[in-house]
Amino acid sequence: MGNEVSKKLLLQNQKQQFDEEGYVIVKGLLSAEEVAEIKNTFMKLHAGGPIPNCFSPVSEEEAKGDILKRYPRMMHPHRVNDLAMHYMLHPKVMDVLAELFGEEAIAAQSMFYFKPPGAKGQALHQDNFYLKVEPETCIAAWAAIDPADEENGGIMLVPKTNELAIECPHLADQNVSFTRDEVTIPEGMKVVPANLDAGDVLFFNGSVIHGSYPNKSANRFRRAFICHYAGISTTRIGQYYNPMYTRDGTPRMIKYNLDSGPCGEEFEEAAGPH
Ligand SMILES: O=C(O)CCC(=O)C(=O)O
């Protein structure tokens, strides 16, 4: 991967949008070939069945009609697969992140969502609740592997919530969300879809309220490769994210943030990895 120096890929108004609204979409950051490589790799991994600490699908019988149980998200695939590591540290993604953080980024986490037709969504939440990055914030890079829109349960977010403090969640409706916690949309604000083509990457600040609704399409998967990052000057992070990785693939250990946060231990215990 070498010691690339970061390049400026963002237009001035894109950086401004990120600073003001908390998110920015970079169109076509991944090529069609890269998207195909990611999709093929993860579909092969799915076909291979369970992977300890990463992927826990169940049989059709055990899933009892919940399609997401047969296609759960993969957690930290970069720990078990070189291609996932490669894409988590993709030079263009790391370049954009360096501009957004104002310093080099380090990677905390990778995930792959299959989200087949009929799958539940993930209730609205703030990533900083889970990643507990200090002293600043995490940033997510959400790479669309299929076109993602409101029909197939694309990503939704609440613009301008980037300055918001952590909001304590309530229990989500388990009929529409596979995760437990949900935060309320602040008064006067609106949740909007971030419609993406395959290869587009959405970057958003860790305080931005975001999530997704069920995939209502008849036959369209909504696959996404999603990674979370912190700035290189980060001093503490939640307990599931070591080792972190610098852009050249060097592991870096960051002190764990074991504080229970503003919502208390009751929430923390069940929250688990994000
Ligand atoms: O892609 C989704 O459905 C939700 C992803 C998400 O909320 C996250 O990665 O934090």
Does 211 sit in the ligand 1 pocket, CB within 6 Å?
yes
The pLDDT tens digits for 171-220 are 999 999 999 999 999 999 999 999 999 999 999 999 999 999 999 999 99
Q: pLDDT band at residue 263, thresholds of 50, 70 and 90? A: confident
| Dihedral, CA of residue 188, residue 137, residue 101 and residue 146, to nearest 10 | -70
Nearest CA residue ID for atom 3, ligand 1? 212
Model confidence at 1: pLDDT above 50: no
The total of other beta-carbon atoms located within 10 Å of residue 14's CB is: 17
* Closest-lying ligand 1 atom to the alpha carbon of residue 142: 9
Q: What angle do CA 193, 86, 57 make, to 5 degrees?
A: 65
Model confidence at 5: pLDDT above 70: no
pTM above 0.75, yes or no: yes
* Closest-lying ligand 1 atom to the alpha carbon of residue 111: 9
Q: Where are the domains of the chain?
A: 22-271
As a whole number, mean pLDDT of residues 136-152 equals 97
Does 212 sit in the ligand 1 pocket, CB within 6 Å?
yes
Please list, in sequence order, all residues whose beta carbon lies within 8 angstroms of the beta carbon of residue 266, skipping any fewer than 6 positions away: none
Bridge-based pairing state of the strands 255-256 and 236-237: parallel
| Preceding omega of 243 cis (within 30 degrees of 0) | yes
CATH architecture for the domain at 22-271: Sandwich (2.60)
Model confidence at 271: pLDDT above 60: no
3-state class of 95 per DSSP? helix
Does 226 sit in the ligand 1 pocket, CB within 6 Å?
yes
Does 146 sit in the ligand 1 pocket, CB within 6 Å?
no
